[in-house]
Amino acid sequence: MARKLRFFKEQMARAGLSPSSHSLGTPDFDLDNLEVKLGEFEVELLEIKDNNEKLQRNYSELLEYKLVLEKVGEFFHLAQSIAAAHQRELEVQQNGEGYIDTPLLLHQSVVGSILYNFLDKC
């Protein structure tokens, strides 16, 4: 029982709570009941502590996923705008010249410039 009382005293100190002094003045209480209640409270407190840790871990994971999705979104937005610009260049070149290997060269330059621009932003 002394261990349980110490445990609750430590937990109350961490939470910034102080035990009330008027409850200590009543000598007519049942120690068996008190020990059972303290055991129940200890179990509840440990569950709350575990749940809090799980919630913190889940929050951190979700925050990490959010940041990854934002970076991926930036990458795809950049890729889409560069691809659109190269598509316009391709249309202009096809109307003007008509070389057979031009689309392959443009495709390689599009992929290279997308990766270069994304890595340059990071």
Give the model's pLDDT for residue 99.
52
Domain annotation covers residue 39: yes
Query: What is the Cα–Cα distance from 103 to 52, expressed in whole angstroms?
Result: 56
Give the model's pLDDT for residue 51.
97
Average pLDDT, the chain: 78
Give the model's pLDDT for residue 45.
92
Q: What is the pLDDT of residues 56-100, one digit of tens each?
A: 999 999 999 999 999 999 989 888 888 888 888 888 777 755 555
Helix (H) or strand (E) holding 49: helix 31-96
Domain annotation covers residue 100: yes
> If you average pLDDT over residues 39-59, what whole number do you get?
94
Q: Is 28 left (phi over 0), alpha (psi -120 to 50) or beta?
A: beta
The total of structural domains in the chain comes to: 1
Domain annotation covers residue 5: no
Q: Is 99 left (phi over 0), alpha (psi -120 to 50) or beta?
A: beta
Domain annotation covers residue 6: no
Domain annotation covers residue 37: yes
Range of the domain at 81: 28-121
Give the model's pLDDT for residue 34.
82
Domain annotation covers residue 11: no
> If you average pLDDT over residues 9-18, what whole number do you get?
79
Give the model's pLDDT for residue 11.
79
Domain annotation covers residue 20: no
pTM: 0.49
Query: What is the Cα–Cα distance from 119 to 66, expressed in whole angstroms?
Result: 19
In the chain, DSSP assigns E strands to none
Domain annotation covers residue 43: yes
